[in-house]
Amino acid sequence: MLKVGIVGYGFMGRMHAACYDTLDDVEIKAVVDAVPAKRSMAAEARGCAVFENSAAMLEGADMDIVDVCSCTGAHEEHILAGLAHGKHVICEKPMSLTLESCDRIIAAARSASTKVMIAQVLRFWPEYQAVRKLVRSGELGGVQWVSARRLSSVPTWSESNWILDVGASGGAVFDIHIHDQDFIAELIGPPKKIMAVRTLGCSGGDSILTLGWEHTGGANSYAEASSSLPPGFPFNMSLLVACERGAIRFDSARTPSLVVYPAGGGEYVPEIPAPAVGSAKAGGNIDALGGYFNEISYFVDCVKTGNSPEVITLEDARQAVRICLAVRESAATGNVVDL
């Protein structure tokens, strides 16, 4: 039985907890949150020990895995503390907000005997897994360009609205845009040049529009993300991959959500490897556990087998931060940024 301690019991902490609940050989032993009401919620729902800070948890609870779901600015602190106590660590994206912080985390992970993974969930999302499989099969030829979109109403579920504080969260670039930038880089390699524009929302949040070109795989990209849309606007994510011999379209608002269009006609719906794990009402913009379950169960398996995470490496997670920093720099200066 693997024992888990969760740092942060907000939307993402509760999503991760729901995923561990589906695994027979994992037990949540402790939860950390600075907010008394959330500690009470965790204690009542799970019967686990609760702590006000991670230091107290690491000293006072028996666990194998530390799951970091704290606000972004605290990721490095909590990852390093977990490693210093000999724990395996999984941490929500992004790894951090600076490359210097990412490098300190990577150095500590290399010196540790335990496993570390950054939870870039899109790499584990069923539809995106199907897209990756199709592209890598070569069935449609090489990728020519990719377009991605991620749209959300203003996020109001974070404690004290820390997500809306760009200094604490990195804004839409690091909160949601990073998902698509990471997946695009996995699919066609990182871009060599970035041009981006940022706009502020009237009621909080911001939007980002990014062109990437000269990707190492030879294709180009366009991605947009917004966390400034009105209340009630349904969360939406979409992807279009244009290839030499066809195209792949995913849109979470459509049924079917994923369709392949070969150049010779005969469009079809590919198999989507979706786990039957249901959903959780955790207070955020997504309820489906599928991608989160995939990443949590994958990391648990890495801990059990002793294998290092390969679906998303620490270097991959650092690269996502590097791309997002370039996006932010371009948006701030109005200049093209070379990577």
Q: What is the CB-side half-sphere exposure of residue 187 using CA atoms within 13 A?
A: 33
CATH number for 209:
3.30.360.10
Q: Tell me the two tokens of residue 194.
A: 């970035």
Q: Which domain holds residue 102?
A: 2-120
Q: What is the pLDDT of residue 279?
A: 58
Give the residue ranges of DSSP H helices in 170-311: 171-172, 178-188, 290-305
Give the residue ranges of DSSP H helices in the chain: 11-21, 36-46, 54-60, 75-84, 99-111, 126-137, 166-169, 171-172, 178-188, 290-305, 314-333
- For residues 142 and 167, state if they share a domain: yes
Mark which of 120, 152, 168 sits at the end of a domain: 120
Are 326 and 181 a contacting pair, CB within 8 Å?
A: no
Measured CA to CA, the distance from residue 210 to residue 224 in angstroms comes to: 6
Measured CA to CA, the distance from residue 81 to residue 303 in angstroms comes to: 18
Is residue 297 in a domain?
no
pLDDT in tens, the chain (339 residues): 999 999 999 989 999 999 999 898 999 999 999 999 999 999 999 999 999 999 999 999 999 999 999 999 999 999 999 999 999 999 999 999 999 999 999 999 999 999 999 999 999 999 999 999 999 999 999 999 999 999 999 877 777 776 777 776 788 999 999 999 999 999 999 999 999 999 998 777 899 999 999 999 999 999 999 999 998 899 999 999 999 999 999 999 999 999 999 999 999 999 998 776 765 555 545 556 889 999 999 999 999 999 999 999 999 999 999 999 999 999 999 999 999
The region that residue 216 occupies, defined by phi over 0 for left and psi between -120 and 50 for alpha, beta otherwise, is: alpha
- For residues 248 and 170, state if they share a domain: yes
Q: Tell me the two tokens of residue 254.
A: 């459509």
**Cis? peptide before 309, omega within 30° of 0:** no
Give the residue ranges of DSSP H helices in 138-273: 166-169, 171-172, 178-188
Are 67 and 90 a contacting pair, CB within 8 Å?
A: yes
Mark which of 71, 105, 120 sits at the end of a domain: 120
Question: CB within 8 A of 111, min separation 6: which ones?
Answer: none
- For residues 103 and 140, state if they share a domain: no
Question: CB within 8 A of 106, min separation 6: which ones?
Answer: 314, 315, 318
- For residues 116 and 126, state if they share a domain: no
Is residue 38 in a domain?
yes
Measured CA to CA, the distance from residue 131 to residue 141 in angstroms comes to: 13
- For residues 229 and 333, state if they share a domain: yes
CATH number for 36:
3.40.50.720
- For residues 184 and 252, state if they share a domain: yes
- For residues 82 and 208, state if they share a domain: no
- For residues 72 and 177, state if they share a domain: no
Measured CA to CA, the distance from residue 315 to residue 37 in angstroms comes to: 37
Is residue 291 in a domain?
no
Q: What is the pLDDT of residue 164?
A: 72
For the entire predicted model, the pTM comes to 0.94
